[in-house]
Structure 1
Amino acid sequence: MIDPQRLLDWRFEETVQAYNERDTTIYNLGIGLGADPMDAGQLRFVTIEKDLLAFPTMAVVLARPPSISADPRSGINRTMVVHGEQGLELLRPLAPAGRVRSAARVSAVVDKGPGKGAVIYVESTLSDDASGAPIARLWSSTFARADGGFGGSSEAPRTPHRIPEGRAPDAVCDLPTFPNQALLYRLNGDLNPLHSDPATARRAGFERPILHGLCTYGVCAHAVLRSYCGYDPARLRGFDLRFSAPVIPGETISVEMWREGEVVSFRALVRARNAKVVDNGRAVVAS
C-alpha cells in the first residue's frame, strides 16, 4: 500500500545525461517525424548530417529521474500504472547534442479512493550541466490504477485546462503511428514491458502493447509545430496535456486545435474507434 509521506519525502539523486545527434534523431523518428520523407519541415529533424534540429519535447526524456513505480519501496503496483498528465515549459531551445542535468521532487500524492486509484505528481528542472542554465521545467502525473484508498488527500494540485466549447476547431492535423512505433520509441529509455510484451499488456487489461504516453505527447506536439509554428522548434514555449486513453501502435491520431493568441488548446482522437486519447491540451506558441 502507498504511504503518501514516504513518497513526498522521496529523495531523487540528480541525473546527468550526455546525448548526441544520433540520440536526437532516434527521438525524432520515434515520435513519427520523417514519416513523409518529402516534407522539408520534417527532414530538418531527421537528417543527422545537415543542421539537425532537436524537437522541443525531447526535453521530457533527457536525464529522466528513475521511475518511482519501478521501485518496490513505493508500494505501487507497477503493472497497473499509466501516465496521467505531462507538462513542459521551455526556457530556451534544446540543442541537438549536449550534456544535461535534472533535479526532481514529488510535489503531491492524491488518493482518489478505494478502487479508484492514486495520482503521484513529480516536478523537475532540466539544466545545462556545464553552465547550470535552466533549459526546461517539467511536471508529470502517474495514475496508479490499483493503489487508491490509503487515506491521503483527494485534492489535485492542478486544474485541467478547458477546451473551447461551442465552435469547431481552427485546425485539425491527422498523424499516423506505426505498428512498431513503441519498439522504436522505447530506445529513448522507457523499457516498461507494457509497451513491448504482449503478455504484460494482457495482464494490465490491454489486448496488445500500447504506445508510450510520451510518444503520444510528442505526436501531439508535432501537430502543433506543423500547424502553428512552421516547424520552428523555438516557437514552442509550453506544452501540457492529460492522457485520457491509450493509443495502440498503428492508429492515426487526429489532433483538434483552437488558437487564442499565443495559446493553442487541443485534444486528440483516434477516430477509427471513437476514442479521445488526449484532453485538456494547452500549448504556448510564440508569434
Structure 2
Amino acid sequence: MPIYYPDILEQKAEPRVFTYTEKDVMLYALGIGMGRDPMNERELPFVLEKDIKVVPSAVTTLALAKGGPARPASEQNPGLRISELNLLMLVHGEQKIELHKPLPSSGTFRATSRTITAFDKGQDKGAVVVDETMWTDDKGEKIATLTASTFARGDGGFGGPPAGAPEPHSVPTRKPDVTVSLDTRPDQALLYRLNGDFNPLHSDPSVAKQAGFSRPILHGLCTFGITCRAVLQEFCNFDPTRILSHEARFSAPVLPGDTITVDLWQDVDVISFEARVIDRCTTVIKNGKAVRRGF
C-alpha cells in the first residue's frame, strides 16, 4: 500500500506495555561487545547483576524484549487512510535517543509511537518517514523519547513536501580529540539479534546475498550502541547517568568481525563523533552527537 499524505501524520501505533529485566540489560551490553574482557572492572557492572548499570542506547531494544513490534492502533480518526511502507525496501537512516531519566535496570513501561513527518523525494527516489516513540513509567512520567528516520526506497511520489528535514549535526573540522577502536566478533550479529531484532539480513547468508551483501551484516543499532559505548568510555567514565541524548546517521553497514574506529570531538558537554571501518575505507556512522549532563 502507498503512503497517504497528510493522513500519515495522524497515524498512530497501538500503545504497548512491556517489561524488561536485568537479564535483558546484560544481554544488550554483551551484544555491543562489553564484557569481552572479564577482568575489565569498568565494564563488568554492565554485564553483572551486582551494582548493575544500563547502557543508555539499550533503550532502542528493551521495548522488544517482551513487547513485540508496534502495530497500527485499532482506533484511528474516522476516514483516516492507513499507510503501510514496503518493508523490503526500508533502510534505517537516523536514530536519536533522549533520556529524560536514567534507565532503570528493570521495570514495566508504556510505549506510544506516531509518525511525526514524511518527506517525498520523488517517484523513483523514495521517501523519508520520521517516527517518534515515547516511553512512560507507571506514574505516566516520561522516561525516554526515541526518534527514528527511515528511508523508504519504494514509497516515493505520494505528494508530500520534498524538503524541510533539519540539517544533520556537523562534526568539527579539526583533528579528533580522541580516537578509539572497538572490535566486533564474527558472531556479533547472532548475539545482538537475541535482543529482539530477528531480521534474517543479519543472520541468514542466503538472505544477505539476495540483498547484495557477501555475508549477513551487523544491525545498524548495534553499531549505534558501540558508538554510545565509546562515549561512555572516553567522556563519561562509564557513568551512564551522564548521557542525556545520543544521535547519529547511518551511512554504511558494518560486517561482523570488522573493527570500528570512532573519532570523537569534545566541546564542553557536546560530544561529536563519526565511525569508520579502516580496513574497508568506509565511514559507517556520520553526524554523531551526544550530549552529557555536566557536573
> Of residues 100, 112, 115 in structure 2, which corresponds to 1:106?
115
- Of the three residues 239, 243, 254, the one matched with 2:246 is 239
- Matched-pair contact (CA < 8 Å) for 1:59–1:126: no
Aligned amino acid, residue 145 of structure 1: R
Asked if structure 2 preserves the Cα contact closer than 8 Å seen for 1:2 and 1:76, the reply is yes
For 1:164, the equivalent position in structure 2 comes to 172
How many pairs were matched up? 281
Compared CA separation, residues 11 and 75, structure 1 to 2 (3 A) = closer
Structure 1 unaligned spans of 5+? none
Question: Which residue matches 2:94?
Answer: 85
**Bigger shift: 22-31 or 7-16?**
7-16
The equivalent residue for 1:52 is: 52
Preserved contact between residue 106 and residue 120 of structure 1 (Cα < 8 Å) = yes
Structure 2 counterpart SS, 1:2: coil
1:251 aligns with 2:276: no
After superposition, the C-alpha distances for 1:198-246 in whole angstroms (9 at most, x for unaligned) are 2222222222211111111100000000000000000111101100111
How far apart, in 2, do the equivalents of 1:163 and 1:20 lie? 36
Question: Of residues 204, 210, 222 in structure 1, which corresponds to 2:211?
Answer: 204
Determine the C-alpha separation between the residues in 2 that align with 1:121 and 1:207. Answer: 30
**Structure 1 runs, 4 residues or longer, greater than 4 Å off:** none
| Structure 1 SS opposite 2:252 | coil
- Aligned-partner Cα distance in 2 for 1:68–1:78: 14
Using the alignment, how far apart are the partners of 1:198 and 1:77 within structure 2?
Answer: 22
Partner of 1:66: 69
Ranges in structure 2 where 5+ consecutive residues have no aligned partner:
73-81
Aligned to 1:132: 140
Moved more, 139-148 or 263-272: 139-148
Contact 2:13 2:71 survives alignment (8 Å):
no
Q: Distance in 2 between matches of 1:240 and 1:156?
A: 19
**Aligned-pair distance for 1:6?**
4.5
* Deviation of 1:67 (Å): 5.4
Within 1, Cα distance between the matches of 2:71 and 2:245? 25
TM-score (norm 1): 0.92
Q: Which residue number corresponds to residue 43 of structure 2?
A: 42
Q: Which residue pairs with 1:279 in the alignment?
A: 286
Q: By how many angstroms is 1:95 displaced?
A: 0.9
* Identity fraction in percent: 48
The answer on whether the counterparts of 2:124 and 2:157 sit within 8 Å (CA) in structure 1 is: yes
**More divergent stretch after superposition (188-197 vs 2-11):** 2-11
- Answer yes or no: is the 8 Å Cα contact 1:68–1:74 preserved in 2: no
Helix, strand or coil for the counterpart of 1:267? Answer: strand
1:10 paired with 2:18, answer no
